């Protein structure tokens, strides 16, 4: 099987708000909340290696945009599928900034390794394996199930398939984003999450009562304040977008920006950040979840 | 609101095998089974009309590829959302031939009407409304939930969101198809479905044990024979594809064709029908479910 490879694409995911729901069983643990999956995502290529090739090495050799990298969940996914492989990640998304790159890496590795090594797992099984790896590493709670679904996912109940329940906001939008630096998901999730969870549950109730994009953005801003997660640069950008949006509103989304959980990142619908004078990256909500895009011998 | 419109795209869906599961509650009724969603699908445009415009008319004016048409589920979906509208369907798919055109029409109408009339329903609610309409009209049991998901859906449990459970085969494929004419879903579903359901449950068990595309195709062929649904032209085409596939197998799918449930339609993976000398329509499995593609005043 040496050299056989497969590639999967996984959309990025910005979480608008969430509540944390730990559990003994990592498949049952996770988060409730909502967010946007993005057409900017991660291409994950898994290339099988012989045991002999890898004997004096770690079981996984990982490269991110050409540089050596370490993402614990990727190795855990390969181990769960009993696959030895090189994994290469290619993405335009900022890392550690709230775009679900680690979730995408884990989920894409599951899809691509299953295809390259012909493991015969179903999609739900692959999502579960990637979700468990993220939860056990403490690097994410809800990105994987959102990224497996696509669209604008609402996480009604936490956990992997068989536990979690998803819905979605039936909409699509142009999305702009600007990142001011990293924020550690592990640190926030390891801290006291009581206030955060209360604010997240409140935001989810609002969105369930009115599953529209403007409500999602408004609930996200309220969540960031109540959970005390707003960082100054992001707060300033949200304010600037709101001010600019009062004068310009070409598509009805003017003035609507929020903070990506968890990153020093602001995202806006339509042309919100451009209108406010920022120089944002531009993408769209993504209609599909993770998928295989190619296989080769 | 007169003149406001929205368009949704819904992938086609060929069912490979199924079992019927009636229930008092149409949201709980449905089918188990599996199939392929297709990049060939239906564009559904909903244009709101004033009550006055429609006063001397039926509540729904429906056109399919420019011709007047009647699809009961479409009117039921509009009624459930309290929307008066013209609905236009544009599709390359054959109608009444097992591609889920009625399910696509119902689901696309739900998404587009919700957007045009700003009804604020969630995706699960829209899928439930379309599924209930299809079930109550007797025109389908599982297309809507499959078409809302995309990919290669496995229907583990029947029914709309909140009842049904889905999984998927993590694969993609080129798909060829040839249609020899119509077959009435209503007639088959109204008849004795005991043998069909037994054959469908057996096929599902096989696919769950090995969720790969070749197994899906093989289980589909076995189902068609056991349920006594094979029509002569389709049986002949399946045989011709198998014979041609023995000599040509460029991508590993050679020789794999099956019957679309329920239609006088044969579908094949890769170049199966071309290799056998047919002149098929060509598309691919579709990575995404139903989605809005545009809105306008």
What CATH number did the domain enclosing B113 receive? 3.30.230.10
Task: Check pLDDT > 50 for residue A19.
Answer: yes
Residue of chain A nearest B293, judged by CA positions: A172
Residue of chain B nearest A214, judged by CA positions: B120
Q: State the complex-level ipTM.
A: 0.93
Q: Give mean pLDDT, residues B266-280.
A: 96
**CA A290 – CA A139 distance, rounded (Å):** 19
Q: Give mean pLDDT, residues B205-223.
A: 97
Task: Check pLDDT > 70 for residue A247.
Answer: no
* Lowest mean pLDDT across A4-8, B59-63, B97-101: B59-63
Determine the pLDDT at residue A185.
65
Residue of chain A nearest B286, judged by CA positions: A288
Query: What is the percent of chain B with per-residue pLDDT over 70, rounded to a whole number?
Result: 91
Determine the pLDDT at residue A1.
47
pLDDT in tens, A140-199: 899 999 999 999 999 999 999 999 999 999 999 999 999 998 877 667 767 777 888 999
* A30 and A141 Cβ atoms separated by less than 8 Å: yes
**Those residues with Cβ within 8 angstroms of residue B183's Cβ, 6 or more apart along the chain or in another chain:** B96, B97, B98, B231, B262, B263, B264
Backbone φ, ψ for residue A46 (5° rounding): -110, 120
- In the structure encoding, which two tokens stand for residue B235, read together? 């049986």
Work out how many domains chain A is built from and give that number.
1
**CA B142 – CA B131 distance, rounded (Å):** 8
More confident position, A16 or B58: A16
Task: Check pLDDT > 70 for residue A252.
Answer: no
pLDDT in tens, A26-40: 999 999 999 999 999
Determine the pLDDT at residue A249.
53
Distance from the A231 Cα atom to the nearest Cα atom in chain B, whole angstroms: 31
CB contact under 8 A, B122 and A292: no
Query: What is the percent of chain B with per-residue pLDDT over 90, rounded to a whole number?
Result: 80
Determine the pLDDT at residue B1.
47
Determine the pLDDT at residue B195.
85
Domain housing A8: 1-297
Task: Check pLDDT > 90 for residue B251.
Answer: no
* Lowest mean pLDDT across A243-247, B183-187, B251-255: B251-255
CB atoms within 10 A of CB B184: 13
Determine the pLDDT at residue A180.
93
pLDDT in tens, A258-273: 999 988 999 999 999 9
Ramachandran area for residue A120 (φ above 0: left; ψ -120 to 50: alpha; else beta): left
CB contact under 8 A, B167 and A111: no
Q: Which of A170, A211, A291 sits opposite B172 (nearest CB)?
A: A291
Task: Check pLDDT > 50 for residue A90.
Answer: yes
pLDDT in tens, A115-146: 999 999 999 999 999 999 999 998 889 999 99
Q: Which residues of A38-56 are buried (b: 16+ CB within 10 A; e: fewer)?
A: bbbbbbbbbbbbeeeeeee
* B14 and B93 Cβ atoms separated by less than 8 Å: no
Please enumerate residues of B whose Cβ is less than 8 A from a Cβ of A. 111, 114-115, 120-124, 126, 150-151, 154, 161, 167-172, 208, 210-212, 287-289, 291-293
pLDDT band at B59 (very low <50, low <70, confident <90, very high): low
What separation in angstroms does the CA of A162 have from each of A5, A23, A62, A127, B289? 29, 14, 30, 11, 20
pLDDT band at A228 (very low <50, low <70, confident <90, very high): confident
Determine the pLDDT at residue B255.
77
């Amino acid at each position: 099987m040496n050299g056989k490879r497969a590639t999967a694409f996984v959309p990025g995911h910005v979480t608008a708000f969430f509540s944390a729901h730990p559990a003994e069983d990592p498949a049952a643990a996770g988060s409730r909340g909502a967010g946007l999956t993005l057409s900017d995502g991660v291409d994950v290529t898994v290339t099988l290696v012989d045991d002999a090739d890898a004997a004096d090495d770690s079981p996984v050799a990982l490269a991110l945009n050409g540089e050596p990298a370490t993402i614990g969940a990727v190795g855990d996914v390969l181990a769960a599928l009993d696959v030895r492989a090189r994994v290469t990640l290619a993405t335009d998304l900022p890392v550690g900034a709230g775009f679900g790159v680690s979730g995408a890496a884990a989920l894409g590795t599951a899809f691509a390794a299953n295809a390259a090594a012909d493991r015969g797992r179903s999609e739900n099984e692959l999502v579960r394996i990637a979700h468990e790896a993220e939860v056990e590493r403490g690097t994410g709670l809800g990105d994987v199930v959102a990224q497996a679904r696509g669209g604008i996912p609402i996480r009604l109940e936490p956990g992997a398939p068989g536990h979690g329940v998803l819905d979605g906001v039936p909409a699509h939008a142009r999305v702009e984003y600007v990142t001011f630096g990293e924020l550690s998901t592990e640190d926030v999730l390891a801290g006291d999450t009581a206030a955060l969870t209360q604010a997240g549950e409140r935001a989810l109730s609002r969105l369930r009562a009115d599953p529209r994009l403007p409500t999602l953005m408004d609930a996200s801003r309220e969540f960031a304040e109540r959970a005390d997660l707003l960082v100054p640069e992001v707060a300033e950008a949200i304010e600037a977008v709101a001010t600019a949006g009062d004068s310009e509103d070409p598509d009805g989304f003017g003035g609507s920006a929020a903070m990506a959980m968890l990153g020093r990142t602001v995202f806006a619908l339509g042309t919100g950040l451009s209108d406010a004078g920022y120089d944002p990256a531009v993408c769209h909500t993504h209609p599909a979840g993770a998928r295989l895009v190619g296989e080769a011998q």
